[in-house]
Structures are given as structure tokens and as C-alpha cells.
């Protein structure tokens, strides 16, 4: 079931500069960069990500070559990529350098968002009550808008959120040009650490964090997350997420994976378009996976049409998550908590907004489905965007959110594959504790798929293997 098919024919359109390098590898042409260059003036400088062949050169050598054409650089500690600050002419020169595989725009990405019942739906409460497994000691990285561990007792810093970081403000000032007395900046060092609250104004990351591992302290345990014993590592990429900061976040995770025992990373964000294995995000997520960290991505909210998946969720080395109801159909109970979707004549399980793959395609499909409709989770005091957008659900006590007046100050309701993804991330943490922390990403994916509950009437390209089953997955790996 896992998507292990990568063929050369899948590589996005590429071109070789045989005039400069007869043996040059295929070079990916990034459509987003091509569009940006079409409107750029000759003196404009753009932030771009350079993907190079690590077997042919080094980060230092590539950085020096880029500086020699007049551009500024920032290096990564663990990723075979370099960020450059370059004019259109310099970008052309960079793309022709030996060993360069592609130059990509630093395009803007988007968060994939528009517990009580949802945790029970996937059997995570039974993992706690029957097996005593909570994800204790497992590190969960939340690569998102930030975490409010100052205001919300469910995510309190530094005992629950054990590290909380945020990006520095002005990226353009951080590039190093040739002749500078300083060495090139390292992306993983461009964060402010030890922040009780790294959430500025969105609230998205705080909501996601509560689903994965919230303590439930503010609600007397009612809104407890999937893996409340796990530790959270908040990587705040800011209110607006760009490719560079996502890469810097992955770089930070690799630098600190041992210190915080990071075993899984939540990515409730993405983009649109075709899957490109040379895309910097895909290259970075593959490197993270190769180091034993399970990478989980939201499938996207562009459904119900075919071929609408977040391309980062398509990568064979990650787990892509579709969004379903927080209560599965019960023939003895007609109440279905899935008002935001269209059943289309089938059991109302898959949310209408959840992105779909391509029928019959071995690669383009979600891996698994998890609750993503009307999920109540932690509220950030600084989460103005989410707090305002979801106020109509929060304050309507007859809705499927139904947050009490007492709980409303600390919880809010949201829908999206953003909310489905952290359910799976929490299950990964439970599995890792049960197995002593020794599970590989491949093993995690295999067990999740094998133990998923089938969803009759739905196809692989819509829901993947089916609905995640935490109890079955944990029992399959317990030592």
C-alpha cells in the first residue's frame, strides 16, 4: 500500500545546459520561479533555493560558487541545499553551475486549516486506559505558526512544550556575500529559542499541538490530546510560511533530534501542483525520514475533486493524511458529526474538503484518514486569526463543537486536514513508546496501513488504507 514508486519519468520538466556543462545533470525548471522572474526588474533580488547533487559537490563549494556570481548565501547544517539572494541574471548563472539540479522560488506555502470525540474515534483513549501508554518521553516537532505555552495550561512551557522557537524577522539581512568578514549564516541558527509563546497572531500551531499531545488540564481532562505524555518541540515559522523557513525548521529538527528525542514531525501545511522529488521541501523531508523521524503531512483542503493533493503529502517517504468525521457511522445511532461534508450517497465519513488523489495511480493517494471535522483543541491567547474565524462555531452550543462557557477561554474549534494530521502524529508517538522508540518510519507507515479500519464505499485514492486505529497500531508494535 505504501507508495514506493519513484521513476525518472516523474521528475518535473527539466533542461540541460550543455553549453556550460556537457555532463550536466537534468535541471528542474521551477514554474513558480519562472513566473517570479517574468515580473522582476534587472536589479531586483529574489530569495531562491538551490538544489545540488551532494555526490558531486559540497555545501561550502556550492556557496562559494554562488557568491562568485555576486549573490548572497545562507547554508543549512543538514540539508543538501543552499539559499541564495540573487538578481535575475545571477539566477541564470547559478542555474548553469555544475552540479546544480534546480533553482526554486521561495514561494509562500499555506496552513491546511479551514478532541474529545475524535480521540475516542481513533481508539487513543483506550491506549491510555487499557495499556497505560501516553507517548511518554517521545518528542513531537510541530512545524507550524507557533505554540502558546505561556497562556494555555495544556501546552505549558517548559514542561510540556520543552522547546519553543521562532524565526528571526528579516531574512534578507542574513545573507552573506563574497568579501564579507563573516562566514555564511546557518539556517538552523536563525531562530530565537526558549520562548514561552512563539505564536504571533494565527493560532494554527497551538491548535495542532493540542491535538497531538495536549494535557487537557484546562478542561479537567475532557479535551486531552492523543499522546498527552509526549513532549512538544514548537518550531514557529511565523504568520506567513515560506519555503526557506520550512527548510530551516527541518534543519533545526535534525540538529536537535537527539537532545529532544524527536521521533515525528507534524506538517499541517502545504501547496498545490504536481509532485516533484527534487523540490527542496521533498528533498528535506526525505533527509529527515532517513534519520529515523516519521514525517506526516496534511493531504490538503482542495477536495472533493480528483488530483487535488498537497504534493508534499505525496512523497513516498511521508505519511499523507485525509480528513474524516470525528464519529464513524453507527447503524444504531444516526447522529453524525460531519456537517462540513457531502456524503454523496455513501456513509458520511470523508470530509468534502479533503483533497483526493488520482484513481488507479500508485502514488497519488492519501495514506490514511483521521478526524478533521469540527475538532476542539487548544486556543492561543495570541491566535487572533483562528479565534475570529471559528468564533461562530465556538459560541454555538448546539453545533458539533459545543464548547462550554467554562472551556471556551482555552479551546477553539476548527476543521481541516491540518486537524487530521496531528491525530496520526500522536498515534506515532504512542507507537514509539510502546516499541521502546525503535520503530523506523517505514515500519510506522506499514503498521498504520495494515491496522487501519477499511471505509466501505471509498477508494484508495480518496481515503488511503482507511481510518487510523490507534489501539490496533499500538498493539501491533508493543514489546
Same domain, 387 and 466: yes
Domain boundary, last residue among 105, 138, 163: 105
Distance CA 171, CA 85 (A): 10
**HSE (side-chain half, CA atoms, 13 Å) at 159:** 7
The answer to whether position 173 is within a domain reads: yes
Domain boundary, last residue among 76, 105, 134: 105
Domain tally for the chain? 2
Q: What pLDDT is attached to residue 234?
A: 98
Same domain, 148 and 51: no
> Tell me, what DSSP letter sits at residue 184?
P
The answer to whether position 399 is within a domain reads: yes
The answer to whether position 10 is within a domain reads: no
The answer to whether position 267 is within a domain reads: yes
Q: What are phi and psi of 105, to 5 degrees?
A: -70, 150
Distance CA 251, CA 189 (A): 9
**Cβ 430 vs Cβ 474: under 8 Å:** yes
Same domain, 220 and 281: yes
- Give the burial string for 340-353 (b: 16+ CB within 10 Å, else e): bbeeeeebbbbbbb
- Cα of first residue to Cα of last residue in the chain, in angstroms, is 25
Residue whose C-alpha cell reads 517574468 in the numeric block: 38
Distance CA 232, CA 319 (A): 19
Same domain, 226 and 93: no
The answer to whether position 41 is within a domain reads: yes
Domain boundary, last residue among 75, 105, 135: 105
**Helices and strands of the chain, counted as H and E runs:** 14, 19
CATH code: domain of residue 197: 3.40.50.200
Distance CA 246, CA 343 (A): 35
Structural domain span for residue 348: 110-477
Q: What pLDDT is attached to residue 158?
A: 98
Give the length of the chain. Answer: 479
Q: What pLDDT is attached to residue 332?
A: 43
Same domain, 60 and 115: no
Same domain, 84 and 144: no
What's the pTM? Answer: 0.92
Same domain, 147 and 261: yes
> Tell me, what DSSP letter sits at residue 441?
H
Distance CA 300, CA 302 (A): 6
The set of cell numbers assigned to 61 is: 563549494
CATH code: domain of residue 52: 3.30.70.2980
Q: Is the peptide bond before 158 cis (omega within 30 degrees of 0)?
A: yes
* Helix, strand, or coil (residue 251): helix
CA 309 → CA 33, 276, 299, 346, distances in Å? Answer: 21, 13, 6, 21
Same domain, 285 and 210: yes
**Cβ 423 vs Cβ 211: under 8 Å:** yes
Q: What pLDDT is attached to residue 254?
A: 98
The answer to whether position 441 is within a domain reads: yes
| Ramachandran assignment for 194, one of left (phi > 0), alpha (psi -120 to 50 degrees), beta (any other) | left
Q: What pLDDT is attached to residue 335?
A: 37
Same domain, 65 and 121: no
Distance CA 367, CA 348 (A): 19
The answer to whether position 292 is within a domain reads: yes
The set of cell numbers assigned to 321 is: 493524511
Q: Tens digit of pLDDT per residue, the chain (479 long)?
A: 444 333 223 323 333 333 333 344 568 879 999 999 999 999 999 999 999 999 999 999 999 999 999 999 999 999 999 999 999 999 999 999 999 999 999 999 988 654 888 999 899 999 999 999 999 999 999 999 999 999 999 999 999 999 999 987 678 888 999 998 788 889 878 899 999 999 988 899 999 999 999 999 999 999 999 999 999 999 998 778 999 999 999 999 999 999 999 999 999 999 999 999 999 999 999 999 999 999 999 999 999 999 999 999 999 999 999 999 876 655 444 334 454 444 455 566 899 899 999 999 999 999 999 999 889 999 999 988 887 777 766 666 556 788 888 999 999 999 999 999 999 999 999 999 999 999 999 999 999 999 999 998 899 999 999 999 999 999 999 98
Q: What pLDDT is attached to residue 408?
A: 92
Q: What pLDDT is attached to residue 1?
A: 43
Residue whose C-alpha cell reads 512551557 in the numeric block: 157
Distance CA 215, CA 224 (A): 5
The set of cell numbers assigned to 31 is: 514554474
Distance CA 209, CA 139 (A): 12
Same domain, 46 and 117: no
Report the run of H or E that residue 323 belongs to, with start and end: strand 319-324
103-161 confidence digits (pLDDT tens): 999 999 988 654 888 999 899 999 999 999 999 999 999 999 999 999 999 999 999 99
Same domain, 55 and 131: no
The answer to whether position 14 is within a domain reads: no
Same domain, 96 and 164: no
**Cβ 288 vs Cβ 321: under 8 Å:** no
Amino acid at each position: 500500500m505504501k507508495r514506493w514508486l519513484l521513476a525518472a519519468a516523474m521528475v518535473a520538466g527539466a533542461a540541460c545546459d550543455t553549453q556550460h556543462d556537457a555532463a550536466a545533470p537534468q535541471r528542474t525548471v521551477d514554474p513558480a520561479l519562472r513566473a517570479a522572474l517574468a515580473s522582476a526588474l534587472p536589479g531586483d533580488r529574489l530569495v531562491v533555493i538551490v538544489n545540488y547533487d551532494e555526490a558531486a559537490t559540497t555545501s561550502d563549494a556550492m556557496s562559494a560558487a554562488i557568491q562568485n556570481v555576486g549573490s548572497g548565501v545562507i547554508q543549512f547544517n543538514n540539508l543538501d541545499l543552499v539559499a541564495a539572494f540573487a538578481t535575475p541574471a545571477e539566477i541564470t548563472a547559478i542555474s548553469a553551475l555544475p552540479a546544480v539540479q534546480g533553482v526554486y522560488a521561495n514561494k509562500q506555502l499555506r496552513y491546511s486549516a479551514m478532541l474529545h470525540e475524535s480521540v475516542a474515534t481513533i481508539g487513543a483513549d483506550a491506549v491510555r486506559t487499557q495499556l497505560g501508554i501516553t507517548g511518554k518521553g517521545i518528542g513531537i516537532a510541530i512545524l507550524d505558526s507557533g505554540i502558546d505555552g505561556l497562556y494555555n495550561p495544556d501546552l505549558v512551557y517548559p514542561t510540556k512544550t520543552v522547546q519553543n522557537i521562532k524565526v528571526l524577522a528579516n531574512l534578507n539581512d542574513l545573507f552573506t556575500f563574497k568579501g564579507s568578514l563573516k562566514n555564511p549564516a546557518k539556517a538552523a541558527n536563525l531562530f530565537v529559542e526558549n520562548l514561552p509563546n512563539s505564536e504571533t497572531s494565527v493560532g494554527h500551531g497551538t491548535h495542532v499541538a493540542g491535538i497531538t499531545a495536549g494535557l487537557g488540564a484546562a478542561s479537567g481532562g475532557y479535551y486531552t490530546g492523543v499522546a498527552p505524555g509526549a513532549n512538544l518541540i514548537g518550531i514557529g515559522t511565523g504568520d506567513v510560511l515560506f519555503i526557506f523557513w520550512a527548510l530551516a525548521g527541518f534543519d533545526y529538527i535534525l540538529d536537535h533530534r537527539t537532545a529532544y528525542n524527536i521521533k515525528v514531525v507534524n506538517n499541517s501545511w502545504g501547496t498545490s501542483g504536481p509532485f516533484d522529488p527534487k523540490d527542496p521541501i521533498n528533498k528535506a523531508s526525505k533527509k529527515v525520514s532517513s534519520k529515523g523521524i516519521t514525517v506526516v503531512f496534511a493531504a490538503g483542503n482542495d477536495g472533493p475533486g480528483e488530483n487535488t493533493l498537497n504534493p508534499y503529502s505525496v512523497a513516498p517517504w511521508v505519511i499523507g493524511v485525509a480528513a474524516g468525521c470525528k464519529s464513524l457511522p453507527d447503524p444504531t445511532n444516526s447522529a453524525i458529526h460531519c456537517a462540513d461534508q457531502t456524503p454523496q450517497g455513501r456513509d458520511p465519513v470523508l470530509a468534502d474538503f479533503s483533497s483526493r488523489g488520482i484513481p488507479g495511480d500508485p502514488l497519488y493517494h492519501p495514506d490514511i484518514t483521521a478526524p478533521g471535522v469540527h475538532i476542539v483543541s487548544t486556543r492561543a491567547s495570541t491566535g487572533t486569526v483562528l479565534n475570529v474565524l471559528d468564533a461562530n462555531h465556538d459560541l454555538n452550543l448546539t453545533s458539533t463543537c459545543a464548547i462550554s462557557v467554562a472551556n471556551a477561554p482555552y479551546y477553539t474549534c476548527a476543521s481541516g486536514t491540518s486537524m487530521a494530521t496531528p491525530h496520526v502524529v500522536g498515534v506515532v508517538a504512542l507507537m514509539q513508546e510502546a516499541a521502546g522508540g525503535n520503530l523506523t518510519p517505514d515500519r510506522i507507515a506499514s503498521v498504520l496501513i495494515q491496522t487501519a479500519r477499511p471505509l466501505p464505499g471509498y477508494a484508495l485514492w480518496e481515503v488511503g488504507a482507511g481510518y487510523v486505529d490507534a489501539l490496533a497500531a499500538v498493539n501491533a508494535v508493543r514489546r
